[in-house]
Amino acid sequence: MSIVIILLVALAVILGVGSIRRSLITAPIFSIFKKILPPMSSTEREAMESGSIWWEGELFKGKPNWKQLHAYPKPALSEEEQAFMDNQVETLLSMLDDYEIVHEQKDLPKPVWDYLRSEGFFAMIIPKSFGGREFSAIANSTIVSRISTRSLSAAVTVMVPNSLGPGELLMHYGTQEQKDYWLPRLANGTDIPCFALTGPEAGSDAGGIPDTGIVCKGMHEGKEVLGLRLNWDKRYITLAPVATVLGLAFKMYDPDGLLGDKQDLGITCALIPTSHEGVEIGDRHYPVAMAFMNGTTKGQDVFIPLEWIIGGPDYAGRGWRMLVECLSAGRGISLPALGTATAHLATRMTGAYSAIRKQFGLSIGKFEGVQEGLGRIGGLTYTLEAMRTMTAGAIDLGESPSVVTAIAKYHMTEMSRELLNDSMDIHAGKAVQLGPKNYIGHQYFGTPVAITVEGANILTRNLMIFGQGATRCHPYVFGEMEAAANPDTKAGLLAFDGLLIKHVGFAMGNFFGALFQGLTAGAFNSTPVSGETKGYYKQLARMSKGLALSADFSMLILGGDLKRKEMISARLGDVLSQLYIASAVLKRYEDDGRQASDLPFVHYALKRCLFKIGVAFDGFFQNFPARFVAGTLKRVIFPYGINYKLPEDEITQSVSEALLQPGVMRDRLSHLCYLGNGREDDPVGMIEDAFIAMHDVVPVEKKIFAAQKDGTIPRKTVFATTIANALEAGVISEHEASQLKRAESLRVKAIATDSFKPEVLTSLAVKKQDEKSVA
């Protein structure tokens, strides 16, 4: 007994006396930590330090504060923003003919360009003091989404100047002189901006751009000034072919020491008029047959004054930080808006088409195979709208959550792709045959654009979400990394010691917490609500604890190798992502007043999130290199096995049924979808009109079916004969017969696909051949 007491006292002294603890425990761990610390470049450090930590930090702590989630204000449009939606946006939509834009003009018509300029569509983020509209992030997102349901090419054209580009960079970092000159010109449409970052050898690795700017003296406006000799070769630059001002990212060097002792100054951003001597623009790419302007820009030995650096000479070498901070906000608005727009359109149209398209005498929406796809479309659309509003709302709160926006960009574009595939399958030939009547084909073409730009999805999932999230969101790791990188070893050790004690306590709490929650299946976790969603809060809190525990062990055991173990990192990122997605769904349900009609969609979305969390954890446990640790973690977090399941068929069918009939839920679910505004030739309007008309005659059809069943009128006759027989037998009235005829006429018109005379489709080939002959 005395030996035990002596050991406990010795342990207490070692742990309790700082100098002894640091000498015997912290210093050796500190030394090991430095060795396993993943190497971090300056660009990676700037990415880590940029932006802010928001709700994702709560999820990473293992004990999310759900009341805090509920307390975030619900994003809403101001009166001015709503008026813009009701007037300017609707006017724009009436001017757009997407088939003509994509297949005939391959550009927006000049009146559309003029309208976009004059009405401030390119100035939504620019402050009113400079002539802009100064709209909120939620307004920016909603406007782009609404336009995208009508024309993806027009939406991208509007999106880019209001995302990462000269306008945003000037607002945050520009000198007063630069702001006073450029922002009013951008606001009133005098200038069209583009921003050139990506090149042939630098796509996802934007920090590796080979483009250079050498500090030197040169002539500008008749005077010798200090400036930069630029050489660049960029591609995939949206709006470049029509831009009048070019934002350019390059690596800046000062080999002659004209600015100081440092020769490699780093990534820098400058603003250059495209009319400037040596700037090359004009060549276009043809991105998946879309008509938005996208192309190349080059420059060889182009001299500019230092004052053209965004922010002036003081901001030389600070370009990467500027880009990362702006990108983290823009990524959470633009591309999620496109993904959500696709969902609104697909939901509205696929449900309607499934109701009016008939096979084997039944609406195809009655078949369970179609219902499965419809259920997925509806559940994902509810999820996407929840994520869109929550993420844009975070930006409007002044946050710049780089991890959250990476989650939104990756998962929202992938969900959009998934539900669009379902929509294409259900529409079948209607979606495949391009023409003025096809409202879904261009969305299908454009989906890879959103998936590719602003960080390719493979990179975003495998390197960014967890790779950045684990460091930024963890309450102690980033501080420990900074302590290890401190050149003052003594100061670093002291800081590391304080963090280590807290980290050990945090890890132990997570271990025993995860074990308790695993054994009790989260039954004792607190929830902020009662009713049908309370169980989800308990399970998500349990999975949050499991993530925190698994992340700590991964970083401890793999250290710097975790960066290279992309598949391991990606699976933990999937867990974090699904926790965020589920949080957004729960918040939307609460913000919307806990509507009973929402419950099938909420259940579908949350069961799907938990299932995907289980799949991600299972993959993590199966492939984690330290097999004993993997087995231990699995038994701690899931002592009874991973039991999360996909939504039951009953839930899927409930979601599907809501898409197959008119009603408030269907309208709320697809409220951003453009419906044609009464134009008879609008393909979306055709489907909607037929859908409503067919729904209105369901009682009449039931009369006819009953009469056929009891033998009053014959079965299996053509439509006109059936109507005549029903009239003659007194089964239906003349008015009801007219209703049926009108509905059937609208239905046939709506499900029709386009066909062309041979000379129409060969005209382009003939024109091309004529051009070759002339050449």
Helix residue spans in 128-254 (DSSP H): 137-148, 152-159, 166-173, 176-187
Q: How many CB atoms lie within 10 A of CB 767?
A: 9
Q: What does the alpha-carbon distance between residue 605 and residue 383 come to, in Å, rounded to a whole number? A: 6
- To the nearest 10°, report the CA torsion of 220, 222, 223, 228: 20
Instruction: Using alpha carbons, list the distances in angstroms from residue 699 to 663, 703, 731.
Output: 17, 7, 12
Q: What does the alpha-carbon distance between residue 251 and residue 466 come to, in Å, rounded to a whole number? A: 28
Looking at residue 268, its amino acid is T
**Residue owning tokens 């005829």:** 741
Q: For helices 534-558 and 599-623, give the axis angle rounded to 10 degrees.
A: 20
Contact (Cβ atoms closer than 8 angstroms) between residue 615 and residue 578: no
- Our answer to whether residue 480 is catalytic in this structure is no
Token pair of 716 as six digits = 């299996």
Task: Please identify which of the residues 58, 454, 736, 744 carries the catalytic annotation.
Answer: 454
Contact (Cβ atoms closer than 8 angstroms) between residue 667 and residue 606: no
Q: What does the alpha-carbon distance between residue 231 and residue 222 come to, in Å, rounded to a whole number? A: 22
Query: What one-character-per-residue DSSP string does 132-158 give?
Result: -----HHHHHHHHHHHHTT-HHHHHHH
Q: How many CB atoms lie within 10 A of CB 32?
A: 12
DSSP single-letter state for residue 38? P
Instruction: Using alpha carbons, list the distances in angstroms from residue 642 to 328, 635, 636, 638.
Output: 34, 10, 12, 6
Looking at residue 123, its amino acid is A
244 forms bridges with which residues in the sheet? none
Active site residues: 454
